[in-house]
Structure 1
Amino acid sequence: MPNLVPGVLAGAVIALLSASPEPATSLRLTLDHPGRDSSRSVTLRCGPPGGDHPAAARACSELDGSGGRFEHAPDGRMCTAVHSPVVARAEGRWRGRSVRFREEYGNDCVMRSRTGTLFAF
């Protein structure tokens, strides 16, 4: 029996190491409306979803599904041509990797067409 203890301990250590969670995601998302001098920011955490983003679970799912890309092809929604610029920014860590994103869009509708739920706050 004394030889059994080291084997059990080694197995427990291997099990704990393989069960470690994926690297954390924590992002500061900011929307700036230059023409209105307004700015809003939220925190998005994933794994598990959290922070003060109003749709954290969905935003995390979309971000994971895109492989960490903040922008995608337009989703097909109809947007007006009204010029009301918005700057979307993200900074922080995605799955442990440092990331930064900044893009200016013609209006909120165009931005949401390209970024989904991520900047819907």
Structure 2
Amino acid sequence: MPRIAVLATLSTALSTALSAAVALGPAVPADASEAPRTSLRLTLTYPGHDASGTRSVTLRCDPAGGSHPRAAPACAELRRAGGRLVHDPDGRVCTAQYSPVVAQARGSWRGTPVSFRSQFGNDCVMHSRTGTVFGF
């Protein structure tokens, strides 16, 4: 076979292989660092108390971390709830004692901006509606 024909055949084969590789994309899964992250600043404020009545933590998910004391369960609850911070009461019995607490979240859930604020009658009611996310 003439040398030019061999080079042309090799060139065509290489071009076809490269085109297929580009079209199919990488064979390995995308790096987890490319996925939208969850990073939230969670704050609890107790109206009527001084500044010491405010607590704040950070919650990061995928992987779970931050200063939240129960980051892994909180991230799991958020995943199950599709990022919703408040759900129906969990069935626990709470007293009617009025000791308000304001729960706030700022940041992002899997790349979507989050700006949440809700006031509850007391800690028990808040935990009944927010689970471990505001459990700090």
**Under a length normalisation based on structure 1, what TM-score does the superposition of the two structures give?**
0.88
Matched, 1:15 2:41: no
Q: Which runs of 4+ in 1 moved over 2 A?
A: 4-16
How many pairs does the alignment contain? 120
Give, as a single letter, the amino acid of the residue that structure 2 aligns with 1:19. A
TM-fit CA distance, 1:20: 3.5
Matched, 1:95 2:110: yes
**Under a length normalisation based on structure 2, what TM-score does the superposition of the two structures give?**
0.79
77, 83, 106: which is aligned to 2:121?
A: 106
TM-fit CA distance, 1:12: 8.8
Rg larger for: 2
Matched, 1:6 2:18: yes
Contact kept, 8 Å, 1:49 with 1:56, in 2: the verdict is yes
Contact kept, 8 Å, 1:77 with 1:113, in 2: the verdict is yes
Unaligned runs of 5+ in 2: 1-9
Partner of 1:33: 46
Partner of 2:86: 71
Q: How big is each residue's C-alpha offset from its partner over 1:25-84, in whole Å with a ceiling of 9 and x where there is no partner?
A: 000000000122210000000000000000000000000110110000000001111110
| CA RMSD across the alignment | 2.1
Q: Distance in 2 between matches of 1:40 and 1:6?
A: 56
Q: Taking every aligned residue pair, what percent have the same amino acid on both sides?
A: 57
Q: Distance in 1 between matches of 2:59 and 2:134?
A: 10
Q: How big is each residue's C-alpha offset from its partner over 1:67-108, in whole Å with a ceiling of 9 and x where there is no partner?
A: 110000000001111110000000000001111110000000
Q: Distance in 1 between matches of 2:21 and 2:30?
A: 15
Q: Distance in 1 between matches of 2:120 and 2:83?
A: 20
Q: Distance in 1 between matches of 2:47 and 2:62?
A: 33
Q: Distance in 2 between matches of 1:56 and 1:44?
A: 6
Unaligned runs of 5+ in 1: none
